[in-house]
Amino acid sequence: MIRKAKAALCREHNKPVVVEEIAVDAPKRGEVTVKLGACGVCHSDLSAINGTIALPLPLVLGHEGAGVVEEVGEGVSDLAKGDHVVFSFIYMCGKCRFCVAGRPVLCLEQGRALTTPLEGTPRTRDAAGAPLNIFSGCGAMAEYATVSAENLIKIDPKIPLECAALVGCAVTTGVGAVFNTAKVQPGASVAVFGCGGVGLSVIQGARIAGAERIIAIDTLEPKLEMARRFGATDVLLFADDVVKPLKKLTGGGPDYAFECVGSGELAATAYRAIRRGGLAVVVGVAKPSESTAVRTMTLPFEEKTLTGSYFGSCVPRVDFPRMLSLYLAGRLQLAELITRRYAIEEAPQAFVDLQSGKNARGVVVFQ
């Protein structure tokens, strides 16, 4: 059965998002159609709109989604109609050496299910019948989405879908960067550059990991107030000489610094800020033209590390339930991350608000 769905699309770079009624095909073999409950508005969607993340247009946006299984295709045995699921924006083949080694974010087959389900042909078309690509195997900013079953993780149905959706990107990216990539130790000092949905999740992760000092840095004052609510012990309004106050606050530099903005220059700043033997983690996605320079000598003499974290180095089937159990135990705040809810028709406004830094997270909620 073909389903009609209102969806947020990017048709042209640097132009406002458009909301159109699209057609979503029934699932083929190994695929599932989901009726969306909620979809978070992530900076990576904005990066697809401005071309930083190069995905072919026209594109159905959205990758931070959660919903209810509507129909399963042939051969799908682990999901059934009525199951609640969170989207995972990485495709995991389960067979390549990275998947087998427990690092599915590096799956060698990822490129195959990037803009369509794995089979390679689109399930989404516009009113004129022209095919539409989907963002990172998801296209979840739509009333319905048909995706590969591997892109869906079953969750406990008692979790509100708008909270579960955040686990599909910001929360797993941020908390995972702390738990899995950096393995932050209790008592540590942590600096976080950028307090959007991702940075605030790093702050929460650091708090849960037992960090003693959590210093939030942003260009916007209201973001610093939000950061305090999620566990920041100190805040700094971003300035060119931010390294100096960071070194002073921590007596030589934080043990860890997380770049959650997407700037090559800021990644270098994060690296400069950390102490001897410290670890700087780049989570933000910078433009392809940007690069990061470090003083080479500091690598041997100070044993500093600069690394990256993709989707919190997560294993979705392990980490999504882990995040959600922290939520159910009252240790991870999810509802509190949602500053504003939008109807799908308001998706263009949601992106305007993301760009101006109004929200911790904006979430599109579906009827």
Residues near ligand NAD, by CB under 6 A: 42-44, 47, 169-170, 173, 193-199, 217-220, 223, 238, 260-262, 266, 283-285, 309-311, 354, 357
Q: Does 107 bind Zn ion (CB under 5 A)?
A: yes
Nearest distance from C-beta of residue 111 to ligand NAD, angstroms: 16
Q: Does 44 bind Zn ion (CB under 5 A)?
A: yes
How many angstroms separate the Cα of 264 from the Cα of each of 285, 299, 334? 9, 18, 29
Instruction: Choose from Zn ion, ligand NAD, none: what does 348 bind? Cβ within 5-8 Å by kind.
Output: none
Instruction: Choose from ligand NAD, Zn ion, none: what does 275 bind? Cβ within 5-8 Å by kind.
Output: none
Q: Is 95 helix (H, G, I), strand (E, B) or coil?
A: coil
Closer to ligand NAD by Cβ: residue 324 or 354: 354
Q: Token pair 């591997």 is at which residue?
A: 150
Closer to Zn ion by Cβ: residue 51 or 245: 51
Instruction: Choose from Zn ion, ligand NAD, none: what does 198 bind? Cβ within 5-8 Å by kind.
Output: ligand NAD
Q: Does 360 bind Zn ion (CB under 5 A)?
A: no
Fill in the amino acid letter for 52: T
Backbone angles phi, psi at 261, to 5 degrees: -120, -50
Fill in the amino acid letter for 220: L
Closer to ligand NAD by Cβ: residue 123 or 223: 223
Packing angle, helices 221-230 and 197-209, rounded to 10:
30
Task: Kindly give the pairing relationship between strand 338-342 and strand 361-365.
Answer: parallel
Fill in the amino acid letter for 251: G
Query: Which one of residues 42, 105, 164, 202 is an interface residue with Zn ion (CB under 5 A)?
Result: 42
Closer to ligand NAD by Cβ: residue 38 or 195: 195
- Omega before 58 cis (within 30°)? yes
Nearest distance from C-beta of residue 71 to ligand NAD, angstroms: 29
Q: Does 96 bind Zn ion (CB under 5 A)?
A: yes
Q: Token pair 């979705």 is at which residue?
A: 316
**Neighbour order of strands in the sheet with 213-218:** 234-237, 213-218, 189-193, 256-259, 279-282, 305-308
Instruction: Choose from ligand NAD, Zn ion, none: what does 79 bind? Cβ within 5-8 Å by kind.
Output: none
Q: How far apart are CA 188 and CA 36, in angstroms?
A: 39
Closer to Zn ion by Cβ: residue 15 or 95: 95
Q: How far apart are CA 159 and CA 34, in angstroms?
A: 17
How many angstroms separate the Cα of 110 from the Cα of each of 59, 99, 118, 197, 199? 18, 11, 9, 24, 25
Closer to Zn ion by Cβ: residue 79 or 96: 96
Instruction: Choose from ligand NAD, Zn ion, none: what does 363 bind? Cβ within 5-8 Å by kind.
Output: none
Closer to Zn ion by Cβ: residue 184 or 283: 283
Instruction: Choose from ligand NAD, Zn ion, none: what does 344 bind? Cβ within 5-8 Å by kind.
Output: none
Please choose, from the candidates 261, 259, 256, the residue with its C-alpha nearest in 3D space to the C-alpha of residue 308: 259
Query: Which one of residues 99, 167, 192, 280 is an interface residue with Zn ion (CB under 5 A)?
Result: 99
Fill in the amino acid letter for 290: E
User: Which residues sit at the interface with Zn ion, rule CB under 5 A?
Assistant: 42, 44, 93, 96, 99, 107, 169
